[in-house]
Amino acid sequence: MTDPAFGDPLLDPLFTTPAAAVAFSPRRRLQGMLDFEAALARAEARAGVIPTEAVGPIAAACRAELYDLGELGAEAALAGNTAIPMVKHLTRRVKATDAEAARFVHWGATSQDAMDTGLVLQLRTFADGLDADLGRLDRALAELADRHRGTPMIARTWLQHALPTTLGLKAAGWLDALRRDRARLAAAGERLALQFGGAAGTLAALGPKAMPVAEALAEELDLPLPALPWHAARDRVVETATALGLLAGTLGKLGRDLSLMMQTEVAEAFEPAAPGRGGSSTMPHKRNPVGAAVLLAAAVRAPALVSGLLAGMVQEHERGLGGWHAEWQALPDLCRLVAGSAHQAAEIVSGLEIDAERLRADIGITRGLIMAEAVTMALGERMGRMAAHERVSAASRRAAEEGRSLRAVLEEDPQVTELLDVEALDRLFDPLNYVGAADAFVDRVLAGRCG
């Protein structure tokens, strides 16, 4: 029997991915612990701690499909964690085939060793799936930035029209943040390590064989061997959680920008169209930003999950009470949530529809007022910055009051036309002539100069 792709068939397809759902399914959680137990037996046999003959029967019983999840869960409710009943049922199953081998199940380990190492194995599997979507998003954003480096659009500050920019620079901004997130996740992943300390973090039960077993176990599982067990030091796990929280925020920023650009009154960009995507139950004309909604929902939910994991770091002495337990559902929930957001973001950007004409048209909504700074700087070189600022400010107020273009008002001012001829005004009122270092910034991001 295998787990269904989704635990919640109604909502999981919207908010997570099949790969993330499987990586953190109950059966996968159990298999992670069983993988630890099988590797432990192999490592201890290599170190001469248990008989080599015990490895086969133990490893053969370390298959999650052999166990009843409901039965284990009911016993975990009494035991306080899932590893205790797992070890009991594993031992019983091994004993049914080899009583001698059953003596060496879970030898010298503790419940948290199995659970934490199992979690690290789950996170490693999860990271592969997440990075595949992030890589796809990275490539789509890079292509968008390069293709639209010369596509002018309005930059908005405080939701108001500010100055011209380019769509390429906007996409490069999304990409730059994403690459920092990927770097953080990769760095956090490198610090996820084997958990193996025994009852109190000393591996006392293994005596002089402690380090040889630990080294062999790390090798068996292809995990880093930390300097010492980290039962109550949760920074390794929470570092991954905080990196995921930051990624959720980055994707939420992308979702916010795109949803605003999709507004009917703006209509500059659109999520990819597909049958049944973004429709309304009552309004046939609607094209809703459903992907952006997932990105925004994840950005809303992720901080609470991350804060709970941060709060759980304050653990007691060598093994914590409650804080460790708080991770068991919060971290998988966070992983599933962010995976769904990343997948939706990759889907959106890969098929994003851009209306370049509308982008340019929206630049003209203020009738040239957004070019006031450009004119001020040009005039300032000849009459001084303050005098130029006062003159252009007065012209801007008049243009707004009369519903006319700023250029038309300026052309009626002899002090302006004496210093700026028609060709100069043409240059100043061309948005692409006032995007500064936008192209250079795009180049820097595409060249990988993120920081």
Q: Residue 138: which CATH number? A: 1.20.200.10
CATH number at residue 400: 1.10.40.30
Is 161 in the same domain as 279?
yes
Q: How does pLDDT run across 41-79, given as a tens digit for each residue?
A: 999 999 999 999 999 999 999 999 999 999 999 999 999
Q: Decide if 447 is inside a domain.
A: no
CA–CA dist 414, 410 (Å, integer): 8
Do 103 and 150 fall within a single domain? no
Q: Which of 336, 359, 382 is the last residue of a domain?
A: 359
Identify whether residues 175 and 301 lie together within a single domain.
Answer: yes
Asked whether residue 209 is domain-assigned, the answer is no
* pLDDT above 50 for 1: no
Q: Tell me: the pLDDT tens digits for 304-319?
A: 999 999 999 999 999 9
Q: Residue 128 pLDDT more than 90?
A: yes
- Using only C-alpha atoms, the chain has a radius of gyration, in whole angstroms, of 30
Rounded Cα–Cα distance for residues 50 and 43 (Å): 9
* Domain co-membership, 104 together with 116: no
How far is it, in rounded angstroms, from Cα 121 to Cα 223? 9
pLDDT value at residue 253: 98
253 in a structural domain: yes
Whether residue 142 is predicted with pLDDT greater than 50 in this model: the reply is yes
Say if residue 274's pLDDT is above 80. no
Q: What is the mean pLDDT of the chain?
A: 94
In a domain, 364, yes or no: no
Residue 254 pLDDT more than 70? yes
* Structural element, H or E, at residue 157: strand 152-157
% of the chain at pLDDT higher than 90 = 91
- Write down the pLDDT at residue 287: 75
Is residue 208 in a domain? Answer: no
Q: Identify the band that residue 277 occupies on the pLDDT scale cut at 50, 70 and 90.
A: low
Say what the pLDDT of residue 259 is. Answer: 96
Are residue 175 and residue 75 in the same domain, yes or no?
no
> What is the DSSP code string of 180-216?
HHHHHHHHHHHT------TTTTS-GGGGGGHHHHHHH
More confident residue, 107 or 6: 107
Selection from 257, 288, 258, 283 nearest residue 273 by Cα: 288
Within this chain, do residues 252 and 155 fall inside the same structural domain, yes or no?
A: yes
Active site residues: 280, 319
- The answer to whether residues 6 and 119 belong to one domain is no
pLDDT beyond 50 at 122? yes
If you average pLDDT over residues 379-389, what whole number do you get? Answer: 92
Q: CA 35 to CA 86: how far, in whole Å?
A: 12
Mean pLDDT over 112-125 rounds to: 98
pTM for the model stands at 0.93
Is the confidence at residue 422, as pLDDT, over 60?
Answer: yes
CA dist 37 and 47 (Å) reads 15
Is 90 exceeded by the pLDDT of residue 288? no
Q: Does pLDDT of 2 surpass 60?
A: no
140, 350 in Cβ contact below 8 A? yes
Given 109, 128, 152, the domain boundary residue is 109
Same domain, 297 and 382: no
Q: Would residue 236 count as lying in a domain?
A: yes
Residue 211 in any domain: the answer is: no
Does residue 166 belong to any structural domain of this protein?
yes
For residue 57, the model assigns a pLDDT of 98
Q: Which of 338, 359, 380 is the last residue of a domain?
A: 359
How much is the pLDDT for 285? 59
**What's 104's domain CATH number?**
1.10.275.10
Q: The domain containing residue 299 runs over which residues? A: 112-195+230-359
Tally of domains within the chain: 3
Q: What band does 282 get if pLDDT is binned at 50, 70 and 90?
A: low
Residues 325 and 398 in one domain: no
Query: Within this chain, do residues 284 and 312 fall inside the same structural domain, yes or no?
Result: yes
Within this chain, do residues 275 and 348 fall inside the same structural domain, yes or no?
yes
Shared domain for 41 and 183, answered yes or no, is no
- Supply the pLDDT for residue 370: 93
